[in-house]
């Protein structure tokens, strides 16, 4: 075989193998966008920046975080839902995905346009009151709210967020009435709580920990069904007497619907592998995050259950956003 013919055969073989390599998500040198639908510096952004290099190393690709914030996460979700299903655009999803279909009558995308790949973990929200609050446990706070409907106020990081709806779920479960004061983010909401401008708030565990540990705020309960290792002495909402209360600030990976099955399966496997990385797991736990893997089918079922719960709360509270 002459040299020219050998070169032509090698080139043809390479071309034939390239699509298969891309379908498996291993095309060396390609760059993946991991869309985080919230601004830099928040919980979800931090998680994305932890997972990006680990998943990238496993796939032999470069994974860059792309913050597309706005509209409660809907701008980023819309961008991924409408992206080419080639495996090069991922979404780091959070509870907003399950909340938005009930909140927004005219979403620019359908949740069904996104395919769940894997749940990666989560952490509880935590119910907080000022350090000088008379409420020392959840039942104290509920008694206060019931005895004086409309007298008290709670802060949130904005309308329609999981922190807002965590409080609305408490109102729904206890049939109490309290006024909502939305702020532009968790930090100003926390500032209002510290200043005594509001009576309570829910916050993600990670950013709230320093204030709890310093004694500036009191944690009454965590919102998940199990206690947090970061706050082992703080009861769950269910332990505190609020039946069937289960809320987590979860996060997971999704891709555009129509992404090749082989690629989705490879990415799902890499997610499971990443959560066996001792360094990553240790860092997540240090931030109060519980690493937990669910495959794509289980993640889809989890989102469906979340969607049903939040629809009940949104309908009860009559919340509609444009």
Any domain includes 152: yes
Q: Collect all residues with Cβ–Cβ distance below 8 Å to 133 and sequence separation of at least 6.
A: 141, 199, 200, 218
CA-CA distance, 129 to 219, in Å (whole number)? 7
Tell me the per-residue pLDDT of 61-103, one tens digit each, with 9 for 90 and over: 999 999 998 888 899 999 999 999 999 999 999 999 999 999 9
pLDDT tens readout for residues 112-170: 999 999 999 999 999 999 999 999 999 999 999 999 999 999 999 888 889 999 999 99
Fill in the DSSP letter of residue 236: B
Q: What is the pLDDT of residue 192?
A: 97
**Are 19 and 118 part of one and the same domain?**
yes
Task: Provide the phi-psi class of 146: left if phi over 0, else alpha when psi is between -120 and 50, else beta.
Answer: alpha
Given 204, 222, 240, the domain boundary residue is 222
Geometric angle at alpha carbon 284, from 219 and 95, rounded to 5°: 65
Residue 261: per-residue pLDDT: 96
Mark whether 116 and 55 lie in a shared domain. yes
Q: Would residue 240 count as lying in a domain?
A: no
Task: Let me know if residue 322 belongs to a domain.
Answer: no
**Domain coverage including residue 192:** 124-222
Are 115 and 133 contained in the same domain?
no
Answer yes or no: is 233 within a domain: no
pLDDT in the model for residue 269: 98
Sequence-distant (≥ 6) Cβ neighbours of residue 53 within 8 angstroms: 63
Within a domain: 235: no
**57 and 194 within one domain:** no
Residues 53 and 23 in one domain: yes
**Cα 135 from chain centre:** 29
Note whether residue 167 is domain-resident.
yes
Based on the domain organization, do 288 and 152 belong to the same domain?
A: no
Domain co-membership, 218 together with 261: no
**Confidence bin at 24 (pLDDT 50/70/90):** very low
| pLDDT at 9 (0 to 100) | 40
- Note the pLDDT tens digit of each residue in 262-301: 999 999 999 999 999 999 999 999 888 999 999 999 999 9
Contact 270, 58 (CB under 8 A): yes
pLDDT score for 29: 60
Higher-confidence residue of 269 and 26: namely 269
Q: Are 246 and 165 in contact (CB under 8 A)?
A: no
Asked whether residue 214 carries a pLDDT value surpassing 80, the answer given is yes
Q: In the numeric block, which tokens belong to residue 59? A: 């796939």
Q: In this predicted structure, what is the pLDDT of residue 26?
A: 45
Per-residue pLDDT tens over the stretch 166-188: 999 999 999 999 999 999 888 89
Residue 28's pLDDT is 52
Q: What is the pLDDT of residue 42?
A: 83
Q: Are residues 117 and 17 in the same domain?
A: yes
Average pLDDT, the chain: 90
Q: How much of the chain is in helix, strand and coil states, percent to nearest 5?
A: 45, 20, 35
- pLDDT at position 150 is 93
Are residues 108 and 136 in contact, defined by beta-carbon separation less than 8 angstroms? no
In the numeric block, which tokens belong to residue 171? 């109102």
CATH of the domain at 133: 3.40.190.10
Give the C-alpha separation, 303 to 243, whole Å: 21
Residue 125: the pLDDT is 96
Does 103 lie in the same domain as 76?
yes
Q: What pLDDT is recorded for position 70?
A: 85
Residue reference for tokens 């893997």 = 293
CATH number (domain holding residue 259)? 3.40.190.150
- Do residues 92 and 9 both lie within one domain? yes
Residue 185, pLDDT score: 84
Q: Are residues 115 and 16 in the same domain?
A: yes
Say what angle helices 162-174 and 296-317 make with each other, to 10 degrees.
Answer: 60
Give 193-223 as a DSSP string.
HHTTSSSEEEEEHHHHHHHHHTTSEEEEEES
Number of domains in the chain: 2
Structural domain contains residue 289: yes
Write out pLDDT tens, residues 231-245: 999 999 999 999 999
Based on the domain organization, do 11 and 93 belong to the same domain? yes
Domain presence at residue 71: yes
Kindly state the average pLDDT of the residues 11-39: 60
């Amino acid at each position: 075989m002459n040299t020219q013919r050998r070169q032509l055969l090698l080139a043809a073989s390479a071309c034939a193998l390239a699509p298969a390599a891309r379908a498996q998500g291993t095309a060396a040198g390609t760059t993946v966008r991991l869309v985080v639908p919230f601004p830099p510096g928040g919980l979800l952004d931090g998680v994305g920046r932890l997972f990006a290099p680990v998943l990238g190393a496993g796939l032999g690709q470069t994974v860059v975080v792309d913050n597309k914030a706005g509209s409660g996460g809907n701008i980023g979700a819309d961008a991924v839902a409408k992206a080419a299903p080639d495996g090069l655009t991922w979404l780091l999803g959070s509870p907003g995905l399950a909340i938005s279909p009930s909140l927004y009558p005219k979403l620019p995308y359908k949740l069904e346009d996104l395919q769940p790949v894997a749940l990666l973990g989560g952490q509880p929200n935590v119910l907080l009151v000022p350090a000088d609050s008379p409420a020392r446990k959840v039942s104290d706070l509920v008694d206060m709210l019931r005895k004086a409907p409309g007298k008290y106020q709670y802060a949130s990081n904005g309308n329609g967020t999981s922190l807002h709806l965590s409080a609305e779920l408490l109102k729904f479960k206890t049939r109490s009435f309290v006024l909502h004061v939305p702020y532009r983010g968790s930090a100003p909401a926390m500032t209002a709580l510290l200043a005594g401008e509001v009576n309570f708030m829910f916050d993600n565990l990670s950013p709230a920990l320093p204030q709890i540990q310093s004694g500036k705020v009191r944690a009454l309960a965590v919102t998940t069904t199990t206690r947090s290792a970061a706050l082992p002495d703080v009861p769950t909402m269910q332990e505190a007497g609020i039946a069937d209360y289960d809320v987590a600030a979860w996060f997971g990976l999704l891709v555009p619907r129509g992404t090749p099955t082989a690629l989705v399966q490879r990415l799902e496997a890499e997610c499971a592998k990443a959560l066996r990385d001792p360094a990553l797991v240790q860092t997540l736990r240090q931030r109060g995050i519980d690493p937990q893997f669910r495959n794509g089918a289980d993640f889809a079922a989890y989102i469906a259950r979340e969607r049903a719960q939040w629809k009940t709360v949104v309908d009860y509270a009559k919340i509609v956003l444009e």
